[in-house]
């Protein structure tokens, strides 16, 4: 047996060898089995077990099986193990029960050990055995178990095949999951959901949607949640929200899981009004705002630009855990309110909540937006010295960003070269961006050559390399970078800006003409241009690193996606209304300057979330203090 006895069961007879008490008044085994199944507490179960021991019924196969399973359900797995180990010649049901119990508590390798021992003891598995083994089967053994399924003749069993689909899905082998699924002679809602989950989890959303639509009439809330969350997790928040609205139209009642996915989608889009509607739905439909839902609301409000709403929710969460604290700290950090973020961090530590690696990412982000280099080094070093946390690649990335923003380029370079873990392309890209920011062309070219020679370049990195060469006037280098980018098949990520108006999110690309109000948008752009000229503004054409004329540079700046979103916001909302824009890339210097000036000219607050942080433009100034 793979386990040892963890507690001893008292002997059946007393010292004077009296015969066991009469069983005349003891209920029959089926009644005792029912008593075991209906046990409300571990003490009640122990009393029943003691009775069986006194009456010499503890070896009864059904009662033994029931006891073993019930101990496991009360989280007394060690009692189940001891009972199993004291059973002579356990049958397939007892082996299956002990396998299932171990998988239930995440001991998948021990479950496989029991399955192996069962085969060694000559006990042949049944369909329930395979279903139990497959529920937690490590991916490296799934194919071996599959071969056993076929060997013992269970290749067409509904429950076993469902377990195989789920097992292959968990391991990311979508093709094998599909093959098992396609050969199933019949399918249940559970098997359909298993295949749907496999598709959604691994980004096969088109295939998942086809299967989802074929399930019409059989779909329950779990199926809806799988697809809604699949879209949310793989960067399709609009599709996630659209499916959620369809779910409501079909009168399927959402649950907590649905709400978490919907709030994530609202946060990705920066769709504040949609997020507020979701919050209202939660309040009005009996979804309890526990720590998970509360934290999701905090995260959503932070990403949608409303720290006031986020803080109100946070302050009302009962039993706040470190995840909730991390969300609000990161919220203040990305909005540039570093002092408040750091105060929250100290408040969290003072009440005894131990920070996690995510906490330190949030705190280092706050330091990065405020340029506090010495303090940043202090908190970075404290991870290991005080909190016994080994810094990860993300923490090094935060430090390189902090040092790079502050102009400490050589210090950032030394940090990367002396890291205990291998730096990734993102780290090198961060340092390259800092070189571009501070016009350190020599170090920038050195890093660019290193990135190119080691095939570390990504879409954004190629653009930075091209810009570094252009800043040095090295147009041959620019052509080389662009040629390498083309040869590698990497495409430049287009600038994209989102703006929510009347609960609908509108998307704009640079120079976009797709919107039905394009004519009005471009007329407003002309008006904005006139406002800027009247107030003495000169376009920052030096940031357009292309070998083209000055007028062409000005024209390319005028149609950046965030300016199109701004123009649409101005013509689509009432005067005085705040305009909120979400940009997928870092906002450029020209657009940043324009947003400041337009906020003063129109008297409107403009909130922009770019790839790195939030910018709150108000009365001609920005919350970033030009440190971004």
| Digit-coded pLDDT (tens) for 394-439 | 999 999 999 999 999 999 999 999 998 988 888 988 998 898 888 8
- Give the chain's mean pLDDT: 87
Average pLDDT over residues 541-568: 70
> What's the CA gap between 230 and 237, in Å, rounded?
9
How remote is the C-alpha of 279 from its chain's centroid?
20
pLDDT at 12: 32
Domains and CATH numbers, the chain: 220-320 (1.25.40), 413-487 (no CATH), 501-622 (no CATH)
Q: What are the residues facing 618 on neighbouring strands? A: 621
Contact 338, 350 (CB under 8 A): no
Provide the pairing of β-strand 614-618 with 579-583.
unpaired
Are 379 and 364 in contact by the 8 Å Cβ rule? The answer is yes
Rounded to whole angstroms, how far apart are CA atoms 360 and 349?
12
pLDDT (mean) for 60-65: 86
Complete DSSP assignment for 378-439: HHHHHHHHTT-----HHHHHHHHHHHHHTT-HHHHHHHHHT-SSPPPHHHHHHHHHHHHHTT
Average pLDDT of 190-201?
A: 95
**What Å distances lie between residue 111 and 81, 105, 133, 149, 166, CA to CA?**
12, 10, 7, 16, 17
The answer, yes or no, to whether residue 513 has pLDDT greater than 60, is yes
The pLDDT confidence band at residue 230, using thresholds 50, 70 and 90, is very high
Using alpha carbons, select from 526, 506, 509 the residue that is nearest to residue 573.
506
- Is the confidence at residue 200, as pLDDT, over 90? yes
Contact 468, 428 (CB under 8 A): no
Q: What is the reported pLDDT for 60?
A: 83
Pairing mode, strands 579-583 and 606-609: parallel
Q: For residue 258, what are the β-bridge partners?
A: none
CA 534, CA 353: separation in Å to the nearest integer? 55
Q: Determine the pLDDT at residue 548.
A: 45
Q: What is the pLDDT of residue 24?
A: 46
d(CA 324, CA 311): 11
H or E element at residue 307: helix 307-315
Global pTM value:
0.82
Cα(220)–Cα(253) distance, integer angstroms: 9
Question: Residue 617 pairs with which residues in a beta bridge?
Answer: 606, 622
Assess whether pLDDT exceeds 60 at residue 21.
Answer: no
Half-sphere exposure of 63 (CA within 13 A, CB side): 20
Q: Binning pLDDT at 50, 70 and 90, where does residue 544 land?
A: low
Q: How far apart are CA 405 and CA 283, in angstroms?
A: 42
Q: Distance (Å, rounded) from C-alpha 14 to C-alpha 10?
A: 10
Burial string for 351-374 (b: 16+ CB within 10 Å, else e) reads: eebebeebbbbbbbbbbbbbbbbe
């Amino acid at each position: 047996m793979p386990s040892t006895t963890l507690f001893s069961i008292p002997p059946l007879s007393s010292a004077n060898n009296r015969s066991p008490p009469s069983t005349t008044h003891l209920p029959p085994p089926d009644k005792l089995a029912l008593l075991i199944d209906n046990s409300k507490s571990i003490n009640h179960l122990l009393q029943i077990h003691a009775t069986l021991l006194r009456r010499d019924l503890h070896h009864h196969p059904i009662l033994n099986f029931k006891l073993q399973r019930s101990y496991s359900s009360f989280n007394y797995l060690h009692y189940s193990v001891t009972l199993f180990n004291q059973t002579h010649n356990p049958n397939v049901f007892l082996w299956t029960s002990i396998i299932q119990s171990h998988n239930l508590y995440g001991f998948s390798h021990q479950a496989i050990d029991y399955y192996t021992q069962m085969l060694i003891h000559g006990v042949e598995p049944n369909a329930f055995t395979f279903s139990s083994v497959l529920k937690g089967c490590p991916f490296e053994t799934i194919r071996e178990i599959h071969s056993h399924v076929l060997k013992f003749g269970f290749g067409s069993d509904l429950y076993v095949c469902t377990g195989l689909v789920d097992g292959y899905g968990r391991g990311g082998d979508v093709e094998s999951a599909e093959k098992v699924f396609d050969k199933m002679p019949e399918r249940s809602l559970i098997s359909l959901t298993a295949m749907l989950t496999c598709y959604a989890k691994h980004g096969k959303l088109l295939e998942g949607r086809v299967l989802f639509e074929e399930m019409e009439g059989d779909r329950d809330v779990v199926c809806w949640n799988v697809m809604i969350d699949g879209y949310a997790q793989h960067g399709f928040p609009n599709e996630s929200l659209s499916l959620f609205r369809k779910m409501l139209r079909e009168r399927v009642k959402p649950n907590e899981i649905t709400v978490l996915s919907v709030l994530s989608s609202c946060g990705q889009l920066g769709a504040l009004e949609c997020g507020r509607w979701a919050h209202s739905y939660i309040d009005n439909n009996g979804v309890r705002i526990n720590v998970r839902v509360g934290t999701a609301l905090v995260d959503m409000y932070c990403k949608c630009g409303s720290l006031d709403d986020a803080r109100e929710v946070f302050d009302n969460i009962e039993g706040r855990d470190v995840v909730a604290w991390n969300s609000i700290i990161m919220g203040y950090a990305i909005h540039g309110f570093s002092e408040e973020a750091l105060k929250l961090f100290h408040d969290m530590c003072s009440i005894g909540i131990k920070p996690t690696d995510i906490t330190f990412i949030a705190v280092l982000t706050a330091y990065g937006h405020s340029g506090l280099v010495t303090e940043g080094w202090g908190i970075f070093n404290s991870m290991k010295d005080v909190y016994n946390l080994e810094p990860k690649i993300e923490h090094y990335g935060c430090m390189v960003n902090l040092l790079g923003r502050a102009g400490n380029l050589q210090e950032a370079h030394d940090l990367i070269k002396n890291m205990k873990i291998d730096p990734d392309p993102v780290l090198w890209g961060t340092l390259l961006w800092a070189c571009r920011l501070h016009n350190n062309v020599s170090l920038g070219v050195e890093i660019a050559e290193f990135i190119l020679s080691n095939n570390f370049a990504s879409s954004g990195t190629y653009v930075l390399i091209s810009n570094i060469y252009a800043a040095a006037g090295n147009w041959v280098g620019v052509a080389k970078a662009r040629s390498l980018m083309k040869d590698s098949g990497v495409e430049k990520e287009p600038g994209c800006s989102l703006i929510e108006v009347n609960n609908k999110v509108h998307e704009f690309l640079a120079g976009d003409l797709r919107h039905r109000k394009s004519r009005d948008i471009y007329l407003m752009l002309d008006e904005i241009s006139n406002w800027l000229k009247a107030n003495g503004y000169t376009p920052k054409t030096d940031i357009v690193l292309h070998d083209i004329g000055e007028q062409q540079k000005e024209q390319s700046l005028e149609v950046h996606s965030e300016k199109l979103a701004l123009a649409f916001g101005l013509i689509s909302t009432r005067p005085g209304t705040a305009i909120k824009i979400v940009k997928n890339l870092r906002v450029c210097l020209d657009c940043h300057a324009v947003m400041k000036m337009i906020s003063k000219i129109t008297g409107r607050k403009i909130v922009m979330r770019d790839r790195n942080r939030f910018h709150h433009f108000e009365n001609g100034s920005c919350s970033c203090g030009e440190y971004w």
